[in-house]
Amino acid sequence: MGMQKLEALRALFTEMDRALVAYSGGVDSTLVAAVAVAVLGDRALAVTAESPSLLPEDLEDARVQAAMLGIAHEVVQTHEMENPNYAANPVNRCYFCKSELHDTLKPLAIERGYPYVVDGVNADDLRDYRPGIQAAKERGARSPLAEVGITKLDVREISQQMGLPWWDKPAQPCLSSRFPYGETITVAKLQRVGKAERHLRSLGIRNLRVRSEGDTARIELPPEQIQTFVQSTNLPALVQTFQAFGFLFVTLDLEGFSSGKLNRVLTPVDTQGAIVGGDRSSLTAPLSV
């Protein structure tokens, strides 16, 4: 089944002829970039948005992976932090981020002669609350993975079958996702969280989150690693390190890591703008001015 979906993905890019890939370096957009360059060669371009919500090492990963794929790669600056609608961190924060992203990418694509901007949204994403999807759709972006029914599991299986060494790379959503809705996001807070997560990764932990709530850091680790972490870590030293980053209190979430945990506070009213399933045929037309 995975290879059939891969062939459908290849066919989709063949029809596009030229495409600009919104490329974060995550496993989803990297698969899109890999297939785009395999089919289109120098008629594909990967573009990564750099902002304070992106860890510097994630940008470096994107550069390295793009070079390995052989796809042309550029970095553009986005300025969502300057938008008070984004910095206020409402439940639809991602809408304003993706609006900024695609308002930057669409003119670039038109200027360079790319009729399509494509992203890494997969079929599973359409079933979750993802307000950024709406912003991308409004600006004419296409989601090849979702269009051919490729799920997150498919992404990893196809990436492994293609020999992409990052097929099991942990998901790494932007740093703004570490804050509870309604808490103002600042560059200093983003840097504080980034330093904390970078420190924990240096201890050998791959899947983790450091949630930032006021001056408290709440560490989320895989449940099966919590006991070993507590027993083997110099906790006073860890607290001291986090306090040096700017946190006053350091806590450990006993439930463990769970992607999207902060969305639990959302009600059906909050998420009424989510795209769930539906017809994506409106995304198949080329970009126009």
Decide if pLDDT at 286 tops 90: no
User: What is the crossing angle of helices 235-245 and 187-202, to 10°?
Assistant: 150
The pLDDT value recorded for residue 278 is 36
The pLDDT value recorded for residue 134 is 96
d(CA 83, CA 270): 21
Mean pLDDT calculated for residue range 45-69: 97
Question: CB–CB of 120/32 below 8 Å?
Answer: yes
pLDDT in tens, 238-257: 999 999 999 999 999 999 99
pLDDT in tens, 157-210: 999 999 999 999 999 899 999 999 999 999 999 999 999 999 999 999 999 999
pLDDT in tens, 252-269: 999 999 877 777 877 665
Mean pLDDT calculated for residue range 39-57: 97
Please give the domain boundaries of the chain with CATH numbers for all domains.
2-171+272-283 (3.40.50.620), 175-258 (3.30.300)
**Nearest CA-CA partner of 10 in 46, 44, 60, 47:** 44
Confidence tier at 14 by pLDDT (50, 70, 90): very high
The pLDDT value recorded for residue 154 is 97
Question: CB–CB of 167/156 below 8 Å?
Answer: yes
The pLDDT value recorded for residue 31 is 98
The pLDDT value recorded for residue 149 is 97
Mean pLDDT calculated for residue range 85-111: 97
Name the average pLDDT for the chain: 92
Decide if pLDDT at 73 tops 60: yes
d(CA 129, CA 134): 10
Decide if pLDDT at 112 tops 70: yes
The pLDDT value recorded for residue 262 is 75
The pLDDT value recorded for residue 285 is 66
pLDDT in tens, 113-147: 999 999 999 999 999 889 999 999 999 999 999 99
Residue predicted with more confidence, 49 or 272? 49
Token digits for 23?
A: 């490329």
Decide if pLDDT at 61 tops 70: yes
Decide if pLDDT at 41 tops 60: yes
Token digits for 237?
A: 């030293």
User: What is the crossing angle of helices 2-16 and 27-40, to 10°?
Assistant: 60
For residue 112, report the phi and psi dihedrals to the nearest 5 degrees. Answer: -90, -5
Decide if pLDDT at 276 tops 60: no
